[in-house]
Structure 1
Amino acid sequence: MKLATLIRFAITAAVIVVAAFVGHALWKHYMYSPWTRDGRVRAEIVRIAPDVAGIVTDVKVIDNQTVKKGDLLFVVDKARYVNALNQAQANLHAAEAAARASGASINAAAASAQQSRSNFEMYEAQSERRQKLINNVISAEDKANALAAANAAKAGWQAAQASTKQASAAQEQALAAVAQAAVEVASAQLNLDRTEVRAPVDGYITNLDVRVGDYASAGTARLALIDSHSYWIYGYFEETKLPGLRIGDPVDIRLMAGGLRLKGSVESIARGITDADNPTGSDLLADVNPTFNWVRLAQRVPVRVHIDADHLPKGAVLAAGMTATLVVHPSPADQVAAR
């Protein structure tokens, strides 16, 4: 009888010990092991908006279509932008003609200045010779007239030089007008090119909101393009599990969609989250909540996980917003440090 009681006691004690070990292991697993069911698939989303305004004349894509970088998405009415380009080109031709005319004016002014200089040198030499004559070879009036003629020729030369400088300034202004007109042509050409809205990356059309006949405003997004090469996962890990995480640790990813399994690695760990209990007041001072909750829940910190795109299963479908379970496999050194 005593032996049976002893056996029952031993079995009960063994069950309790095993249950304690299992409970402790489960407690450590759920509280400290680096895993979470709160994972979200994310992707870079490009908001496609036209750079010019106008009526949409053609839409080349449909919702959820796959596109390549450079593919035409939709077209804004080109008519007014063609007209603007033609006007800019006409202005450029006019500015170039004005620049050529100013160049001819410079040549004429330079020739006139050279002629005035020659006249001045001639009259100056003539005046100097007459001023040196003695014994009343010529009258004083003739000497005065020669000097006056030399001074008048000098004034004419100076006026011609001023005209040359004025013509040079006019030419610089004309050349600046040519450069400005060229910029306007380039801008008009760019606007015309931008009437064709093209995909900036490879990806998937989402939330297509443009139809033929719509008026597209510049800068207003009309569809979203999900970059097909930018998928990653944000895992929201409890703060108690962060000590077991290191950048580069391998991660097993299991999507809720059909249990699809992927491979990845820890890419980065967020360094801050919003503190809902300590907002900033209107006077920029901390607005501290005077109450204290005895039950304190572990905060969740975003951890960015890189998806190994080179080993995606064939036919795998990734969509931003999907839910995933993440299990991180830390290195032995990290596990020792976490303890």
Structure 2
Amino acid sequence: MTLTRETLVRGLKIALTLALAVLAALILWHLYNYYTYAPQTRDGKLRADAVPLAADVSGRVDSVAVHDGQIVEKGQLLFTIDKVRLRNALAQAEAAVATARATLRSAEREARRYAALEGVVSDQDRDTRRAAAEEAHARLSQAIADRDLARINLERAEVRSPVNGIVTNFQLRRGIYANEGQPVMTLVDSDSFYVSGYFEETKLGHIREGQHATIRLMGQDRVLEGHVVGVSAAISDSERSTATGTLLADVKPTFSWVRLAQRVPVRIAIDRVPKGVMLVAGRTATVTLDGADEQLHPKHIL
């Protein structure tokens, strides 16, 4: 059989097509392997602890020392509550202490005088004077406690930052009335930033504590570095609830042919942040753990 040029060209085209098809299938297989089993996820979030702040005492806000977006240090003054009434309360408490102390001295003198008159006055009178002295001592202790509380309230009129942080969504203004225990502002703890990576359950076997992590924030070229702190111990089971009145498990039947892998939160501590990278809680992150590239080889599929 004689090979013509047309036959040779046709054979080369078929061979090239088959080679490209095999190569494409191999690439698709490797990509499937990578995105299914490699310890990486594009579903990550930058997180931080939010610290809501409230005044310990109620009163009108007298001064505001910070503004929205300001970076503050632990112990830095944020705002103050009007101290006029608090100073007056402290003065009244100090006067009450002085009165209680004078009353105690008088009661103790009476108790000593009646104790020296044994045989002259009745035992009941001596007991009455001794009880009056003990009662005066208790009233003095109460007055001292009230004075200390008034002093604490005056000190707490100055609200200071409990953490190093960033003032966010700030709307506090001078003159408004702040109620005790009601948050009026929020700080983002700048020392608490971390990344939550939501990994498919098929990848958990390749994740271990202390594993190095590369973090890429959306819209940011420079990468952050971190390490795995731990894997969440539980996630919500959307297929199960408790039947009313029986407290028994009510499991919803599923008819889907495709079972999607559950996503499990993995906490990533941030070890290094490149200069100029802005950390904003809620930003989207891609997390790649050490060993992810090795999963491109099909031998890792079990």
TM-score by length of 2: 0.89
Find runs of 4+ consecutive structure 1 residues off by over 6 angstroms. Answer: 331-338
Alignment partner of 2:273 out of 312, 317, 326:
312
Alignment partner of 2:129 out of 163, 167, 171:
167
Decide which moves more: 7-16 or 180-189. 7-16
User: What's the counterpart of residue 228 of structure 1?
Assistant: 190
In structure 2, the residue corresponding to 1:222 is in which secondary structure?
strand
**Correspondence 1:241 to 2:203:** yes
Structure 1 segments unaligned to the other structure (5+ residues)? 117-155
Alignment partner of 1:23 out of 23, 28, 32:
28
Of structures 1 and 2, the larger Rg is shown by 1
What is the aligned-residue RMSD (CA, Å)?
A: 2.5
Q: Deviations over 1:55-101 (max 9, x none)?
A: 11111110010111111111111111111111111111111001100
Contact 1:36 1:325 in 2 (8 A): yes
> Structure 1 residues 82 and 338 mapped into 2: Cα distance closer, same or farther (>3 Å)?
farther
**Correspondence 1:39 to 2:44:** yes
Contact 2:33 2:301 in 1 (8 A): no
User: What's the counterpart of residue 290 of structure 2?
Assistant: 329
Alignment partner of 1:70 out of 35, 54, 75:
75
TM-score by length of 1: 0.80
Give 1:206 shift. Answer: 0.6
User: What's the counterpart of residue 263 of structure 2?
Assistant: 300
Residue-pair matches, total: 294
Decide which moves more: 45-54 or 291-300. 291-300
Q: Deviations over 1:203-231 (max 9, x none)?
A: 10011121111111111111110111110
Distance 1:214 1:190 in 2: 22
**Percentage of pairs with the same residue:** 42
Distance 2:166 2:293 in 1: 41
Question: Amino acid of the residue matched to residue 34 of structure 2?
Answer: H
Give 1:7 shift. Answer: 5.5
Question: Amino acid of the residue matched to residue 324 of structure 1?
Answer: A
Give 1:240 shift. Answer: 1.4
**Correspondence 1:200 to 2:205:** no
Alignment partner of 1:214 out of 173, 176, 186:
176
User: What's the counterpart of residue 231 of structure 2?
Assistant: 269
Distance 2:228 2:165 in 1: 24
Distance 1:28 1:337 in 2: 8
Question: Amino acid of the residue matched to residue 67 of structure 1?
Answer: V
Contact 1:59 1:73 in 2 (8 A): yes
Distance 1:85 1:327 in 2: 59
Contact 1:43 1:232 in 2 (8 A): yes
Query: Which residues in structure 2 correspond to 1:75-154 (within 5 Å)?
Result: 75-113=80-118, 116=119
Distance 1:299 1:332 in 2: 22
Give 1:289 shift. Answer: 1.9
In structure 1, the residue corresponding to 2:43 is in which secondary structure?
strand
Distance 2:256 2:149 in 1: 62
User: What's the counterpart of residue 286 of structure 1?
Assistant: 249
Distance 2:69 2:80 in 1: 19
In structure 1, the residue corresponding to 2:266 is in which secondary structure?
strand
More helix by share: 1
Contact 2:232 2:266 in 1 (8 A): yes
In structure 2, the residue corresponding to 1:56 is in which secondary structure?
strand
Question: Amino acid of the residue matched to residue 209 of structure 2?
Answer: I
In structure 1, the residue corresponding to 2:279 is in which secondary structure?
coil
Give 1:332 shift. Answer: 11
> Structure 1 residues 301 and 19 mapped into 2: Cα distance closer, same or farther (>3 Å)?
same
More strand by share: 2
User: What's the counterpart of residue 58 of structure 1?
Assistant: 63
Question: Amino acid of the residue matched to residue 285 of structure 2?
Answer: A
Give 1:316 shift. Answer: 2.1
Structure 2 segments unaligned to the other structure (5+ residues)? none
> Structure 1 residues 333 and 291 mapped into 2: Cα distance closer, same or farther (>3 Å)?
closer
In structure 1, the residue corresponding to 2:95 is in which secondary structure?
helix
Q: Deviations over 1:120-179 (max 9, x none)?
A: xxxxxxxxxxxxxxxxxxxxxxxxxxxxxxxxxxxx46x1x4433332222111111111
Distance 1:324 1:20 in 2: 30
Q: Deviations over 1:16-60 (max 9, x none)?
A: 443333222111001111111111000011001111111111111
